[in-house]
Chains A and B, each alone.
Chain A
Amino acid sequence: KNEVEQSPQNLTAQEGEFITINCSYSVGISALHWLQQHPGGGIVSLFMLSSGKKKHGRLIATINIQEKHSSLHITASHPRDSAVYICAVTATQFYFGTGTSLTVIP
């Protein structure tokens, strides 16, 4: 049983497209994190949410606590956005989604 489900698993987009990655979870959480991992392994935290919506540059993250669902949006996608995006939730421990591999083609 996966506590965190992400979709899609893989995503290819043209530069400039609007991208949405979805995350659903089945446990009670205290926070939800969106992480970005580039080839080579380094992980960067993009957002931490416990309610509502956050925006940072071209990235927007939303969470609906009642529906146990979060989305990560990338507006005006760029090839440098190519990475794996991982949803993680904090419950009694950290639970991670399997990640969404995004490729943005110039």
Chain B
Amino acid sequence: KAGVTQTPRYLIKTRGQQVTLSCSPISGHRSVSWYQQTPGQGLQFLFEYFSETQRNKGNFPGRFSGRQFSNSRSEMNVSTLELGDSALYLCASSLTSGGTDEQFFGPGTRLTVL
């Protein structure tokens, strides 16, 4: 069974640009969660999607948004990039919503904002 895949793996953008990251979950998993990891703040929860609906949201500004498609693939968008958005962005998939199932993490997308 293929694992969680994320594309692209590396990305360099400049301030003010926008970026879209993609996450393909394990087949059969309907929940996709997104996380930001930085050396200063550690891992932080962005949002969770289940069956194309956002179920939970962390404490990030509206510049961070996401969506989920009918095949459970998910995208995350960050608009008007800031230097502080440089981070490793991870997604994880699971069978059900709410974090009460094992989470399977993707390899992450490393975003650098110049």
The interface of chain A, by Cβ under 8 A from chain B, is 30-31, 33, 35, 41-45, 48, 50, 86, 88, 90, 92-99
Contact = CB atoms under 8 A, between A and B. Distances in A.
Contacts of B45: 93-96
B100 A50 contact: yes
B56 interface: yes
Interface residues of B, number: 25
Interface stretch (B63-71, B77-85, B101-109): B101-109
Interface of B: 33, 35, 37, 42-45, 48, 56-58, 88, 90, 92, 98-105, 107-108, 110
A31 B99 contact: yes
Given A41-B107, A43-B105, A94 B33 contact: yes
B102 A45 contact: yes
Q: Looking at chain B's contact residues, is the secondary structure mostly helix, strand, loop, or mixed?
A: strand
Contact of A45 (B48, B105, B107, B110): B105
Contacts of B92: 43
Nearest to B45: A94
B99 A94 contact: yes
Nearest to B59: A93
Contacts of B110: 41
B104 A45 contact: yes
A86 B107 contact: no
A99 B103 CA distance: 17
Contacts of A95: 45
